[in-house]
A and B are shown apart, each in its own frame.
Chain A
Amino acid sequence: MVQTVNCSYNLKSNRRTHSIRIHFSRLQGTEGRQQASTVGGGSTDTWRDHQSYCQRCHVHLSLLRSRKWHSDHHRLQALLQEPRTGMLELSIFQFSHLWKDPPFVLDVNLGAISRLETIGVQSHGENTRGLEIVCKDLRNPRFAYKKQEQSKLEILGMLSKYAFPLSHNLPLFAYKYQEKFPKDGWKVYDPISEYKRQGLPNESWIISKINSSYEVCDTYPAVLVVPASITEDELRRVSVFRAKRRFPVLSWIHPESQAAVVRCGQPLVGPSDRRCREDERYLQTVLDASAQSHKLCIFDARQSSVADTSKAKDGGYENESFYPNVELNFLEIPTIHVMRESLRKLKEAVYPTIDEQRWLSSVDATHWLEYIRLLLAGAVRIADRVEGGKSSVVVHCSDGWDRTAQLTSLAMLMLDAHYRSLRGFQTLLEKEWTSFGHRFASRVGHGDENHANSERSPLFLQFIDCVWQMTRQFPSAFEFNELFLITVLDHLYSCLFGTFLYNSEQERVSKEVFSKTVSLWSYINSHAEDFINPLYVHYEHHVLYPVASQRNLDLWVNYYVRWNPRMRPQVPVHQNLKDLLVMRAELQRRVEEIQREASSSRSLSSSSELGGTAMHTTT
């Protein structure tokens, strides 16, 4: 029994969305043979619930509760309609398939497309051709269409034009997206007030405007914190001695011990062991700024062998004999290319099929968890040095915008509870990642069709994975939930918001990102209730040390394997937890109400204290 199903195929590029959307709906209604078996553990979660999957063309069918359907007869025909303005009605597919129930929708965000490819599909007896969409978010749906329709297939051209706007001299989609949100996300991060929150400037550190026109270092932000005793002239000389002129600047300062987290690029020592007196004095000043330590700890994120290689090529690392009171540690984290390869393997392991017998060894073969462990362990060492050793640390890798950003932001997340709140985390990303010039455009390749570019690497994804690992170990320490992390990652690729566009603050200013695009935080903060972790308790002064042992690291199945056809979300616990929170808030409110009444009646004093107890127990 074959049902013919209508499938409309919209490539939307209007003001509101930016995705390829494929609608499948039933054309001729005949009842399904079998009663759909509803699967256990249904949820009220509308978010990517109940995905199903077409085995032949690797298409995910969301909204289907029944998974009992056959893929033996499977034909796709493509009929093309004329593109209309704004919205492209690209095609109507005739989709023959055995299933029933409501139509399903496949959304592929155009920004997430990494590569488009036509493929040959041999199996169906007909001469068919197919289209494969390789996505950055670990999936690649495939579509098949009949050969005779091929001539009409402008879809590929249209798709590629809108998926890779930069390669076609089109503006990024973020410039067209003009959704209005009640909250303005661009106001989330203000460097001056962030540094003020940390207690800066103080007697040893000042807020410097030396880079206000980005002339000293074009990848650094305009506002920087540097030692008070270093003159601008010296600063310039230090900057020349550091890779990409990324001289050491303060990222975070300990409120009590004044130990600082400082980041920079590698020193340009070169094979001849060049020295720079100003750089040496600079680091001594950093050490002197925190009174309680006699050793400055430098963490070089690279593998020592790689550092040696780059020393031969004019890069290098601090020579401990030239820098007195300095201790150099290598964190042995591999390069961005290794990470890219690791993610590629991970994708092969999870999509579209899984080797059940060798699941664990195939995960192991990707080394993904190994690198996550390295990062977390490195960040813990840094955090421990600052908190426990009361000593300032300097973190750098090669250019100081990849592994350095990962490490400093993770360490700050462990050290400072502020960054574990929803707003604070946004500040952290804005500060350590975007403003300090993590090369998002190069690493993600927004709107660029050159998918093989060796600059691409999933460093930000790794960072978010580490954060997720931490949230697993400290379920009530973070104000945001898993959905928030996944949303951030989705919009890392989507090009819908301006937040992650371009490589540096300077570029963002010149491209008027702040005025012409919407910030992701506008969206998130306007829907904050969806992203709040109900278990969150704000403990101001807790330092987190996650255990970076493999027993405590898990593959983030909800993210990496979410497109796998057999993936189904588990029963959402958070709804239940939210109910608890609502109930608590309600009770709290009543206590307050009664308290007010009591105090207004003025005849008693003791009851208010009684109320006080309860308030405290819940905070």
Chain B
Amino acid sequence: MEHIRTPKVEQVKLLDRFSNKTTTGTLHLTATHLIFVESNVSGAHEIWILHHHIASVEKLSLTTTGCPLLIQCRNFRVVHFVVPRERDCHDIYSSLLHLLRPESYDELYAFSYNPKQNEQQREEGWQLLDLTAEFERMGLPCDQWQLTDVNRDYKVCETYPRDLYVPITASKPIIVGSSKFRSKGRFPVLTYFYQEKKAAVCRCSQPLSGFSARCLEDEHMLQAISRANHNSRFVYVMDTRPKLNALANRAAGKGYENEDNYSNIRFQFVGIENIHVMRASLQKLLEVVGTRALSVTDYLAGLESSGWLRHVKAIVDAAIFLTKAVTVEGASVLVHCSDGWDRTAQVCSLGALLMDPYYRTLKGFMVLIEKDWISFGHKFADRCDQLDGDPREVSPVFTQFLDCVWQLMEQFPQDFEFSEWFLIQLHEHVHSCQFGNFLGNSQRQREELQLKERTYSLWAHLFSERHHCLNPLYSLSSAEKHPVLEPLTQPWNFRFWRNMYHQFDRSMHPRQSVLKHTLALKESNVQLEATVHALKMKLQKLGVSTSPLELLSRPWEHGPPSRPRSLILGAPLSRKEAQQEEEEEEVLGEEALEDGPDGSGGERTAEGSSATENGYGELQDSFGSKSEPAVVSLELGVARMTC
């Protein structure tokens, strides 16, 4: 609080990024949020920006109207304020500089965030996912794989979880020996078990082989993995790095497995670039799409030269390779990169997503992230820049994974139980530090921070919001028919994820969303059923015999919260509005019900210029970010078209 010198500045202008539109309002600075409240209109439009989301604040040179302040957020929001007085601007600027880079974990929002739940609810939230149960679901432990307690005190590998599954034939000395030969002690362990073929997906880090070093224990370890699978005589070793990078690592005493030393492996490079390339690539992509008045040529050429879609494709390709090896050939696969927590996590989890329909359900996907990312020590704190740290450690590895998942969802719209919105929420909260799940770099660190005692779980929050997170097109039968997905990888199957990277740029979104529409249809079905039911009840009460119709009906109260009636403009309204509407209905009673739902009456409605049509903003009635009914004026729309 001591950093906040000016808690409130009035008459601040907010410039739209892609047009000349400005809005005036008041800027509030709180301990956790930067809030902009539009001043003029009644429907007070607010923007809430969590300090943790701010990636950079820039004070631009003074103009005649005031002092511009450019804020870029990790959730791809870019806001451009103009503060009338320079002193205010400087105060905000310097306060934000202090606030946006917390130096210790205790300063993070998660430790002060309180969603008004009692202790028991919070504990239940943390118990929602159980990784032991998940390994049981895969059929582990079994006759070839066992749970080892070698890492009980994080002694062997401090970035691994406590519970690890290894081949039954791998004795403790072998494990310890192998871990000493692996970078950061991350020895080969099982992450997914394909029961049908008894094939395992294992992960580790690069071997410390240098130019010629060998380690018998490590060779035994791979032998053991291979022996645990009777279907195949060999085990694939996937090095997800480009060969050049792996060669360069050899000079530093690291490197990759020599096929001559390991008798039973098939070695394969996959060629996914490192975190620095990915960081630069996304940076480039955002620069390109953030340009105003972008021509088609600049857009397409920029998209291509950023390489982002190519990198996404490389990861999907690797996951397909992994999936084929496991499901078709029935071979076990060992995946590693350098340290085995970035590209390895991407490939293993994406592969599992292709192989196992369970991971394509809402809960399954949470389990997958909990397992492959959180517990196996993807360095969320470093990669997402949660604390003031080394900027070279920051990289959009997880974002890229979500992008890959989205590309798959586009190809298989019926196979995922969760929606795009869910992915965007995940991305939001990985950076928000509002929940404890993603804090810290490893399981050990999280235990030290006592996150389960001091913070809340995101999974519980998302479960409570699950009606927003579900994909209405999800069909179980589709998953049964094709348990293993085989995505296409032609270039046109990889597209720019507009709803992610432009999620706050209202004018960038298409005017109607199929998702919303389908949800509305589903809901109207529920309502119709309910009406049928209510009518029947009424008839029965009056003693009128009804024809024996089979009722699928559910009682009224089972219906999800009401949605706007106008489907086109409709976004799920904020709950307050919905309630208001319900109340109005009750008050007005019968006359109101006679009115058409769209209320368009005789009036012509211009679409594409109306307010509540942002694809995603409207779902943000959740914490932290409030819904923002933007006003996109017609001039704006036309200005964009001509540019």
Interface residue ranges, A against B (CB under 8 Å): 37-42, 256, 354, 356-361, 363-364, 367, 369-370, 373, 376-377, 380-381, 384, 387-388, 472-477, 535, 537, 539-555, 557, 561, 564, 566-568, 570-571, 573, 576-577, 580-581, 583-584, 587-588, 590-591, 593-595, 597-598, 601, 603-604, 606-607, 609-614, 616-619
Contacts and interface: CB of A to CB of B under 8 A. Distances in A.
Given A41-B411, A550-B299, A610-B531, A387 B606 contact: yes
B543 to A, nearest CB: 9
A354 B491 contact: yes
Contacts of A570: 410-413
A551 B606 CA distance: 22
B467 to A, nearest CB: 17
A360 B300 contact: yes
B103 interface: no
A601 to B, nearest CB: 5
B603 A573 contact: no
Contacts of B413: 570-571, 573
B602 A541 contact: yes
Given A41-B411, A541-B603, A573-B413, A610 B538 contact: yes
B542 A360 contact: no
Interface in B271-321: 289, 294-297, 299-301, 303-304, 309-310
14 contacts: A40-B412, A356-B491, A363-B300, A545-B606, A547-B508, A551-B502, A570-B411, A571-B413, A576-B414, A591-B528, A591-B535, A604-B538, A609-B590, A614-B524
A360 B482 contact: no
Given A590-B532, A604-B538, 17 more contacts: A40-B486, A357-B310, A359-B304, A364-B297, A367-B296, A387-B604, A475-B513, A475-B517, A535-B514, A544-B608, A548-B641, A549-B643, A552-B498, A552-B510, A593-B549, A603-B542, A619-B596
Contacts of B507: 547
Top 3 closest pairs, chain A to chain B, by CB: A545-B608, A359-B491, A614-B531
B512 A356 contact: no
Contacts of B542: 601, 603-604
Nearest to B534: A610
B556 to A, nearest CB: 11
B184 to A, nearest CB: 35
Contacts of B521: 535, 577, 580-581, 584
Contact of A546 (B294, B496, B531, B608): B608
A547 B568 contact: no
A409 B297 CA distance: 27
Nearest to A616: B597
Contacts of A594: 532, 535-536, 539, 546, 549
B528 A601 contact: no
Given A573-B473, A601-B544, A377 B634 contact: no
Interface in B526-581: 527-532, 534-536, 538-539, 542, 544, 546-547, 549, 565, 567-568
Nearest to A379: B641
Q: Report which residue of B413, B544, B594 has the largest number of chain A beta carbons within 10 angstroms of its beta carbon.
A: B544
A590 B637 CA distance: 43
B531 A611 contact: yes
B567 A537 contact: yes
A387 B304 CA distance: 38
B544 A598 contact: yes
A410 to B, nearest CB: 12
A547 B637 contact: yes
B322 to A, nearest CB: 15
A466 B528 CA distance: 36
Given A358-B304, A542-B605, A477 B568 contact: yes
Given A552-B508, A591-B531, A541 B604 contact: yes
A616 B502 contact: no
Contact of B598 (A356, A376, A539): A539
Nearest to A256: B604
A563 B29 CA distance: 57
A613 B528 CA distance: 9
Contacts of B328: 37
A590 B296 contact: no
Contacts of B538: 598, 604, 606-607, 610
B528 A587 contact: yes
B511 interface: yes
Contacts of A603: 542, 544
A512 B377 CA distance: 77
B489 to A, nearest CB: 9
Contacts of A604: 538, 542
Nearest to A537: B567
Interface in B144-179: none
Contacts of B565: 616-617
Contacts of A587: 525, 528-529, 532
A583 B297 CA distance: 45
B607 A542 contact: yes
A617 B597 contact: yes
Nearest to B473: A576
Contact of B607 (A544, A549, A593): A544
Nearest to A600: B544
A544 B641 CA distance: 13
B568 A476 contact: yes
A377 B642 CA distance: 6
Contacts of B511: 473-474, 544-547
A551 B641 contact: no
Given A40-B482, A377-B642, A573-B414, A551 B300 contact: no
Contact of B535 (A367, A380, A611): A611
Contact of A356 (B490, B510, B524): B490
A585 to B, nearest CB: 10
Contact of B512 (A363, A388, A474, A611): A474
Contact of A41 (B412, B567, B600, B634): B412
Contacts of A387: 604, 606
A462 to B, nearest CB: 15
